[in-house]
Amino acid sequence: MHIFYTPLANGAPRVLPPGESRHCVRVLRLVPGDDITLVDGRGGLYHCRVTRADPDACEVTCIEKIEQHGKRDFSIHLAIAPTKNNERLEWCLEKCTEIGIDEITPLLCEHSERKTVHRERLEKIIIAAMKQSCKAYLPTLHPLAAYRDFIRDTPPAPGYIAHCAPGDRRPLHRACTPATAVTLLVGPEGDFSPAEIRLAIDRGFLPVSLGDSRLRAETAGIVACHTVHLVNAIARPDTPSR
């Protein structure tokens, strides 16, 4: 199934954006009559058929529209300090998008070794992961935020700060409540500073552990994201998977 991203699809999409048109016609060599799937990044999934294979503006007709495709009753906002190695953060966001995430904020922490992010590149990786995993919702990538500003501006409940410092930390799978809007904080290679941990806890974020292993930041982001999904899956009554 070939999936294309059409952010401007209001109602029944008729023309693919230029980049997607080129991929459809030049790379995949699709022709009129071929079936494709479009997603608009806002929950809309469209089963379509190619009507005019123009590499600059491929025309399609919509056969079926599915609204709120894959909508969940919980959301995840991952605030994570960019790793020194860009590719590790890119890998983390790709995997979290495949698992299912709703918002991402790169965090600038006291121990951050990387103080900039390539937003456009990250955006492309997230879009590709959304398509590859057949999702219709595109995670929101927020601009890089200073940790203190993020903590000040973000409602803490339910929010969890994952850290490796000494102190009480509940396992995330026990602390996390299902069917809520969750904010997860993951620190840099040097971890959060004691002052940053204190600030988050004072604001109402709960300190959590992701297990006994000391995970790399990018691994921690994925584990935290998947743990929230698992908590919600266990809480959900058994429904046969389609």
Q: Which residues bind ligand SAM (CB under 6 A)?
A: 162-164, 186-187, 189-192, 209-211, 213-217, 220
C-beta closer to ligand SAM: residue 14 or 216: 216
Shortest distance in whole angstroms from residue 189 CB to ligand SAM: 5
C-beta closer to ligand SAM: residue 96 or 210: 210
H-helix or E-strand spanning residue 166: none
Pairing between β-strand 45-52 and β-strand 35-39 as defined by DSSP bridges: antiparallel
CB atoms within 10 A of CB 153: 8
What are φ and ψ of residue 99, in 5° steps? -70, -40
Shortest distance in whole angstroms from residue 73 CB to ligand SAM: 26
Name the nearest CA neighbour of 106 among 27, 31, 95, 92: 92
C-beta closer to ligand SAM: residue 50 or 222: 222
Shortest distance in whole angstroms from residue 177 CB to ligand SAM: 18
Shortest distance in whole angstroms from residue 101 CB to ligand SAM: 16
CA distance 11 to 32: 21
CA distance 152 to 148: 6
C-beta closer to ligand SAM: residue 28 or 175: 175
